[in-house]
Amino acid sequence: MAEYAAQDLAQAVIDRMADAPNPRFKEVMSALVKHAHAFVREVQLTPDEWMQGIQFLTQVGQMCDEKRQEFILLSDTLGISMLVVAIDQARGAAARTPAPDEQPPTEATVLGPFYWEGAPELAAGADIAEGAAGEPAWYHGRVTDTAGRPVANAALDVWSGDAEGFYDLQKGADAPMQLRARFRTDADGRYSFWSIKPTYYPVPADGPVGKMLRGMGRHPNRPGHMHTMLQAEGHQTLVTHLFDADSPYIDSDAVFGVRNSLIVDFGKHAPGTAPDGRVLNKTWYDCAYDFRLVPAA
């Protein structure tokens, strides 16, 4: 048949994939075609709107370079990144049978565009703020597995924006690494480091995704958070954040990354001596959080 009725076009495209060599690719593309056609039919898309959509995607692509990934930002702000993270974590959990007394693992969230591989490995307790503006905060806790056994020598990567909400990667081509490091847990699974209490900030909103957000009547802000990535031999890698319970936008993260289990009450402390012996002449905070990793299947 050469001619297809509008409602049969999606199936016609799917039928042409009969000889696709990779079954998973065929499955994904068939579903994509099915849902894309259903979307066009549902909203009765006009040629002019379709052209606007194509121009938008073109601009998203043109905005991308080594440091700016507008497509990931689009995925983040449409909630798709978070959906993929949630599905992946559920898949990892389903791949193994937990013991009856196991605790749930720490929930994952988005990686975001500001991870920079190769941050320096520092001794436990080091201060990664190195004088950067912001309120000092002491991060501390343990890394265990879901059965409560300590995970020793886990690599804990941490990174955040500065007091104005800017990451080092946003500060020009030659800007050095700032407010990021890798720590190792001790034999008891303990970690600790100093940084700043993270502040809320907008995702990059000067490109097509920012324009889209404004068109949707949405703000671009993320609540204050410390990014973490945990990697340990024999365990599934965990990418997550610790969110400041007091931060503006905690209920309306622009990328839908907040999970209740990742919200932390930062303790507020008067100037004085911190538990690690450091003497502070200004108000400081502490963020206590224990991470639970899933043993590899």
Nearer to Fe ion, 112 or 134 (CB): 112
Closest approach, Cβ 237 to ligand BEZ, in A, equals: 18
Are 268 and 210 within 8 A, CB to CB? no
**Residue 73 interacts with which of ligand BEZ, Fe ion, none, CB < 5 to 8 Å by class:** ligand BEZ
Window contacting ligand BEZ (CB under 6 A); options: 53-61, 109-117, 130-138, 242-250? 109-117
C-alpha angle with apex 246: 240 to 250, nearest 5 degrees?
55
Q: Does 110 bind ligand BEZ (CB under 6 A)?
A: yes
What single DSSP character describes residue 183? E
Nearer to ligand BEZ, 10 or 239 (CB): 239
Binding characters for ligand BEZ, 128-167, by CB under 6 A (x = yes): ----------------------------------------
Residue of 169, 179, 196, 203 that binds ligand BEZ (CB under 6 A):
203
Nearer to ligand BEZ, 180 or 292 (CB): 180
- Is residue 202 within a helix (H) or strand (E), and if so which, with residue range? strand 201-202
CA distances from 121 to 26, 115, 185 (A): 43, 15, 12
Nearer to ligand BEZ, 110 or 262 (CB): 110
Phi, psi (degrees; rounded to nearest 5) at 38: -60, -40
C-alpha angle with apex 200: 79 to 211, nearest 5 degrees?
50
Nearer to Fe ion, 112 or 208 (CB): 112
Phi, psi (degrees; rounded to nearest 5) at 193: -165, 160
Nearer to Fe ion, 144 or 178 (CB): 178
- What CA–CA distance (Å, rounded) separates 196 from 198? 6
Contacts of 28 (CB under 8 A, 6+ apart): none
Indicate the length of the chain as a whole number: 297
Nearer to ligand BEZ, 161 or 189 (CB): 161
Q: Does 70 bind ligand BEZ (CB under 6 A)?
A: no
Q: Does 113 bind ligand BEZ (CB under 6 A)?
A: yes
What single DSSP character describes residue 292? E
> Closest residue (Cβ) to ligand BEZ?
112
Q: What is the dihedral of CA 8, 10, 13, 18, to 10 degrees?
A: -90
Residue of 114, 125, 184, 263 that binds ligand BEZ (CB under 6 A):
114
Give 110-132 as a DSSP string. Answer: ---TT--TTPPB--TT-BSSTT-
Q: Does 202 bind ligand BEZ (CB under 6 A)?
A: no
Partnered with residue 290 across adjacent β-strands are none
Window contacting Fe ion (CB under 5 A); options: 91-99, 104-112, 126-134, 281-289? 104-112
Query: Interface residues with ligand BEZ (CB under 6 A)?
Result: 73, 76, 110, 112-114, 203, 222, 255
Query: Interface residues with Fe ion (CB under 5 A)?
Result: 112
